[in-house]
Amino acid sequence: MSLFQIVEVKKTFKNGEVDEQVLKGINLTLKEGEITALVGASGSGKSTILTISAGLQRASEGRLVFEGKNLNEMNQEQIRKIRARQFGFIFQSSHLVPFLTVQDQLMVMLNVSETKLKKHEQKEEVEKLLKIVDMYHRKEAYPPSLSGGEKQRVAIARALIHKPKILFADEPTASLDSRRTKDVMTLIRELTRTMDITTLMVTHDEEMLSYADQIVTMKDGLIQ
């Protein structure tokens, strides 16, 4: 089922006195339980469409329809609430807080999402997800003691702890070797399907395309 629609989205940036159109009319439908991979050369617009879809910047024109509502017409507070409650984010770097344990990284995310769970219920949810991503045995560990693959598993758990409907992943395995890339992508695919998440991923790694249900190639601000 379609959960998110990108309709005739355009984006123009000011480059000195010149208007530079980075997106020239993007149309894309994202479905529940599926991974959509955006591929293309640097400057093709793939990262721009990801950040616009995630509400991190506004489109110059067009509609971003999530659950029947246009994000491009919402104010900043409305978008912030959707990001906190409905969206999850995974980046190239795990961006873990160095002085928080693995368990606390997820607890903080639950608080940010304004969950209605009680404290003991929050802890149960955190432990449950850490077991799923095979990081329960490191729940008291701090980020400096984790390997790159372990950090990214924690980042995935943190992105999913509040049960978002959409997961935005920007080069989620760029810092990992081939074995850890396979492990992380297998995990993302499994969680996307079992949790009925809609995943939009930017990648330049062709090996990752085998994990995607939909592959979208971009060039010069357009879908090819």
Q: What is the pLDDT of residue 6?
A: 96
pLDDT (tens digit per residue) in 166-178? 999 998 888 788 8
What residue spans of the chain are helical by DSSP H?
A: 46-53, 76-86, 102-112, 119-132, 148-160, 178-194
CA separation for the pair 133, 68 (Å, rounded): 32
> Closest Cα partner for 55 from 6, 14, 108?
6
SS3 150: helix
Binned at pLDDT 50, 70 and 90, residue 59 comes out as very high
Task: For the beta carbon of residue 85, count every other beta carbon within 10 angstroms.
Answer: 15
Strands of the sheet with 222-223, listed across from one edge: 87-90, 166-170, 198-202, 35-39, 214-219, 222-223
Report yes or no: 37 and 189 within 8 Å, Cβ to Cβ.
no
Please give the model's pTM, rounded to 2 decimal places. 0.91
pLDDT (tens digit per residue) in 67-116? 889 999 999 999 999 998 899 999 888 889 999 999 999 999 888 877 77
In the predicted model, what is the mean pLDDT of the chain? 91
Ranges 29-43, 115-129, 134-148, 208-222: which has the least confidence: 115-129
Binned at pLDDT 50, 70 and 90, residue 1 comes out as low
> Closest Cα partner for 166 from 224, 111, 87?
87
pLDDT (tens digit per residue) in 21-32? 999 999 999 999
- Give the chain's domains with CATH numbers: 2-223 (3.40.50.300)
pLDDT (tens digit per residue) in 5-16? 999 999 998 877
CA neighbours within 13 Å on the CB side: how many for 162?
27
Binned at pLDDT 50, 70 and 90, residue 48 comes out as very high
